[in-house]
A and B are shown apart, each in its own frame.
Chain A
Amino acid sequence: MIGILSQVVYVASIFFILYLLVYATYSFMAVAAGAYTLRTRDRMQTLRNELMHVFIPVSIIVPAYNEAPVIIKSVKSLLELDYRLFEIVVVDDGSKDETSQLLIDEFQMKNYNRPINNLIPCKPMEFVYEQRVGNVNIILIRKQNGGKGDALNMGINACSYPYFICMDADSYLQKDSLEKIVQPMLEDDSTVSVGGMILISQCVEMENGMAIKYRLPKSLLVSMQAIEYDRTFLGSRNLFDTFNGNLIVSGAFGLYKKSIIVAAGGYAVDHMGEDMELALKTHVYCRNNNIPYRMSYASSAVCLTQAPSQIKDLVGQRRRWHMGLFQSMTMHWQMFLSIRFGMVSFFSFIYYLLFELLSPIIEVFGVLSIFAAAHLSLLNIRFMIIFFLVYSVFGVILSLSIYSQHIYQQSFKLSVKDVLKGFLICLLEFVFFRYLLLFCRMQAFFRYGKHKRTWGTIKRT
């Protein structure tokens, strides 16, 4: 019996070491790809290698549910964008607060019987208000509650232009972000979606619609999320973008070609990760129909969003995200090890499966293996500690690399104090935050099936 157990522990330990090595390789590649991409882009901006055009017509869809505290500020910030041809479509998904009334009063909106082309099924609308502010048409649609995906589908049905942006009601766009996010569409006609970069608003000081200062805030929780966002948006997304392999276009800020999204069936309803599901669906639709396509990522198109500052909110948010990941991957299981999907299948999908979706199970299994190995006297404690320390330092340096990339990418200036703080936060992020996330992800498995249609909420600060 002990012999068999020893064999199992041996095989498991080989698996875990390979798992870590593959993850380390991926992480290193993400940092390298991020460094290369950002440096190249910076150089190209200096040399005016940019396609500037502000007349690609874009509809900005803002789904809202109980967003009364932020909705006016959010719409006002959109009106300040440096772009010529866009409209704002706010979809109130049956809010219980004053979201619609505040908008109607603030912009003196008028009730219209706006006809809506029902391209994608969604819950019925209750009323539509419109107002023109300068050159921008603001449309408010109030509909029956159906969840974020359903609200976005209503927005797609109601919008007038061939491209649309979806964004969160509590997010703000940097002044030049629309101009930047349409650039990949100008570069390549086959581009069907473009993801923007998300920054945490608590870290940023804005002036005239542009981020001018970046500081890790006092809240450790928010600071650790800032480092995590940097790793995702400046590392992973850039790496996946090199082979058209991004499996997610952030729901907080993404641009889409309407015709393709409508043809693919729009957003999934009753879904916790409608943004990822749409990205996977787009891959599947285009590959199945032999449509040449590109899903781009534009790190220069910046959106600011508020990160949860309380552990309870963070846990809820991450649990929802993980449930969404689970739903999306199981819905599009056909992408698993499929030659038709190429790198998207063999690199991106596998990554999300092993290092995101299954990571809580694998990591808990790893901890159990350590205990089993210790019990069977197979554990080399000295080696384990060294291994853990080396790997921790590796993770911290990796985060620091990404952090420094972020700083130079946006030409922010940092003091010595900021640098030291950055180092401390990277360390804490690696030894504390990832285990908190592990806990959230584990919870997602146990609580899967509950609150599928709920909107995520966080305490505003």
Chain B
Amino acid sequence: MATTEVDTGADPRVRQRVREGMIPGATSRTYWFYLIPGLALLAVIIVIPLFWNIYLSFTDYRGIKPPEWTGLDNWVKLFGDATFWTSFVNSIAMILAMVVLPTLLGLLLAAMLFDLIGRKFGGKMASFLRATYYLPQIMPSVIAAIVIGWILRPQNGALNNVLGGIGLENLQHNWLGSPDTALISIMVIMIWVQLGYPVVIFMAALQRVDPELYEAAELDGANWFQRFQAITMSIIRPEIFVVVLTCTIAALKVFGPVYALTGGGPGTSTIVPAYYAYSEFFQSQQVGYGATIATALTVVIAIVSIVFITFQNRLERKEEQI
């Protein structure tokens, strides 16, 4: 670890390698009792529908007559389906807007609020700004969609009004209605929605830092960026993992804003896998094909998560050995 000052005392994670639980005298097997309620509910609510869905992906099913087994037909169709691939390309845009940018900005803002504004302008100011950044997170996405719809409306929407007011008429635009700006608009909205989540979690994590550490570093002549790198980043790494994984999952299955704002359009310019599956399920009544898209999406999310968690575990284990 870069900051040895932080590591006072023994690292508790070294002990994690012990096979049995942390309470002496009890083997880990007896803990299974505590997993029963959670796993039983999980089986009914999640695992059964998952397998049901995998089964449906091999059938032709319109929702009324019983499903008809068609083997790999849906899967063959899926791999040649341009809309499906477009939806995954748009997912990458969503990862940029919901994971990469909010996490980076969130790190910067959390450090700024904690290390600079909190210290020099008081904790009240820092808490107030944090609460403001978090506001979009507590807004139901449906309500967010109503308001954003107003702001971006081509005729007398607030944004076009403002642009007209300051003499930038030629920038006025049908923001959500034209293929060239619809995706960008949704991305900006998602950054707005997501930003508060990493800020709150990172700031909570920073509470663990001894403020004197920052002051000592400052007295030693470390500039803001050096303090950020050496102290902030190393301490809140566990939270960075949590934020990146949960946001990546959310970005891959994003549905609400697309459903409420553009319906995947114009054309397929803002379509995402979850919305594509939904429209096949409930609008085209192609339940079998909808299940195929949804299953493919689940597989992608599961692979990403497993790779991520494995990487996280490996990194933690590496740290234990140091």
**Do A and B actually bind?**
no
Contact surface of A with B, Cβ cutoff 8 Å: none
Chain B interface (Cβ < 8 Å from any Cβ of A):
none
